[in-house]
Structure 1
Amino acid sequence: MGRKGRHGPRANIYAIDGGEAELLRDADRDGGWMLLVGGVPQSYVDLSDPTYLDFEYMRLMGDVVDCLGAAGEAFDAVHIGGAGCTLPRYIAATRPGSRQVVLEPDAGLVELVREQLPVKGVPGLRIRVTDGRTGVAALADEADDLLVMDAFAEASMPPELATREFVLEAARVLRPGGVYMANVADGFRLPFARRVAATVRSVFRHTLLMGDPGVLRGRRFGNLIVAGSRRPLPVAELTRRAAGGAARARLLDGGDLAAFCAGSAPLRDGEEIVAPVPPPQVFGKS
């Protein structure tokens, strides 16, 4: 399980604090690498082109980033969950001058990424080895324009990062026009995603949800993106992008999102929360 990639990344299995991570080369794309943790795909990184986003949910996140403020304008961002730092690389490339911090609790994973998928050359990016709640609690009020929650432990969203109390902390560190964005995975009937969306709606006046139509209908397991802000979100532009993308997605906001969340209570600290885990067949396991 060698680690140091003197001549670039090396396809291998590596020990990290949370178990094992694997790097796989994309034979069809120069510079493309897949990072798996516990056998679950966590990141796709193109070292030759950081603007290339392979995962569908990551392209939706990229759309949100593209629609924030003026095109190419630098901003300050916090990312909870590091993995291969795909979105931070994208922001650094498309928003030069941006300042970003990644909060990642797995020191072994951070070391692996630094050695095999180097981030040293990503301008304005810092990585702190800390869990999301501790890291966010240490941030100043109204200091950031974007907070991204894309953290998973054993293929599921850490429950403590889904509660209303945590989202309120996220709102605290955002500037008045700042955006909170979270990647949520769920399956049949979407009970967890509905509660997460209800949680974000309870904190932010303006909220939207995006995803594959089949996932949004609760027909299959997949990723959904929820975003919230105190100020209006670029719904029209995001709807256009979602409908016109390579993998057509759907956007819910306003009354449609209210109907989606109907009967679902916000998640709270202290309650027993079981985040969904993808079924084995999602990643080709048996």
Structure 2
Amino acid sequence: MTPSALPPASQRSVQLAFSDQPAWIVKDEVDGGWVLQIGGAEQSHVDLADPTHIVHEYLLRMTHVLDAFRPAREPIRIAHLGAGALTLARYVQTTRPGSAQLTIEIERELPTLVTTALPLPVGTDLEIVIGDAREELAAMDGRRFDALVIDVFSGESSPAHLASKDFYLEALDHLEENGLLLVNVGDDAGQRFLAQQVRDLEDAAEDRGLSGVWTLTHASLLTRPADGNMVLLAGGALSSPDVEQWRTAWKRAGPHPAAVLDPDETVEAFREIGRRR
């Protein structure tokens, strides 16, 4: 199915049972492609013609991280907790064909809407699990991934049972020894929720004998209060001797102005953020 042959508008919306919000697939008149809206707010952007065209800043930073931590085109095993319109899954299939992917989604109706209106790239190996991210991950005892992406946080309204050290411990336990956890955290200008997530993830990494948390973000968010997203990284992959090369690549790739903080710099940055409140 081509971008011009999407189902009619009557087949591009659904009422979500869990959140009781309407979900729509609508044309993006600015950037091209298609947008998933939930409750009237933009959640995801998809370019069917070019799945490597990533619009959202935080997601673009995540793609650069995934590009660097394994050799180019090498398939990986990756789990997505909260995947929206499966933008990152599409990117992984396009850049690393043959990757085994899994997504856990709490909204039962959403994956059918998304994959019907916006078909996945040919050959995509994606297992879709419906349910609570923590419960479903816990049920996968012994299953390990090269990368695990958590994209379920939106400030203080985030599910409390996911925004916790215990959940981060459980997530880290599902990584291969040299695996990588990527966490998107959106927050308001106060960044109190974000600061707590950094502390919880740092504590979880320390408990598992891992190096601390890396942070990727728009540089301005570190110096002046504003709503925004930061990408937090943890896992055995960050002990690689190549991590400084990755850091250079992540910063160069942007989006700009880009900040890439190592664990010591992350601790210091959030100490400063705490002082300015």
For normalisation by structure 1, the TM-score amounts to: 0.82
| 1:137-286 superposed matches below 5 A | 137-141=138-142, 143-152=144-153, 156-204=157-205, 205-206=210-211, 207-231=213-237, 232=239, 234-262=243-271
Q: Secondary structure at the match of 1:54?
A: coil
| Matching of residue 16 in structure 1 with residue 16 in structure 2 | yes
The residue type paired with residue 25 of structure 1 is K
The equivalent residue for 1:75 is 76
Number of aligned residues: 260
Q: Secondary structure at the match of 2:92?
A: helix
Q: Secondary structure at the match of 1:103?
A: strand
Cα drift, residue 235 of structure 1: 4.2
After superposition, the C-alpha distances for 1:227-286 in whole angstroms (9 at most, x for unaligned) are 10124263443344334534322111132112234499xxxxxxxxxxxxxxxxxxxxxx
Between 252-261 and 59-68, the greater mean CA deviation after superposition: 252-261
Change in 2 beyond 3 A, CA 1:246/1:164:
closer
Going by fraction, where is helix more abundant, 1 or 2?
2
Structure 1 stretches lacking a partner, 5+ long? 265-286
Change in 2 beyond 3 A, CA 1:169/1:181:
same
CA contact (8 A) 2:156 2:193 kept: no
Structure 2 stretches lacking a partner, 5+ long? none
Aligned counterparts of 2:24 and 2:149: Cα–Cα separation in 1: 24
Q: 2:27 aligns with which of 18, 25, 28?
A: 25
CA contact (8 A) 1:209 1:227 kept: yes
Aligned counterparts of 1:176 and 1:154: Cα–Cα separation in 2: 30
Between 216-225 and 154-163, the greater mean CA deviation after superposition: 154-163
Change in 2 beyond 3 A, CA 1:235/1:159:
farther
Aligned counterparts of 2:197 and 2:268: Cα–Cα separation in 1: 14
Change in 2 beyond 3 A, CA 1:246/1:78:
closer
CA contact (8 A) 2:153 2:184 kept: no
Identity between Structure 1 and Structure 2 (%): 29
Q: Secondary structure at the match of 1:175?
A: strand
Q: Secondary structure at the match of 1:160?
A: coil
Aligned counterparts of 1:246 and 1:168: Cα–Cα separation in 2: 30
The residue type paired with residue 235 of structure 2 is S
Q: Secondary structure at the match of 1:141?
A: coil
Aligned counterparts of 1:82 and 1:155: Cα–Cα separation in 2: 20
For normalisation by structure 2, the TM-score amounts to: 0.84
Task: State the superposition RMSD in angstroms.
Answer: 2.7
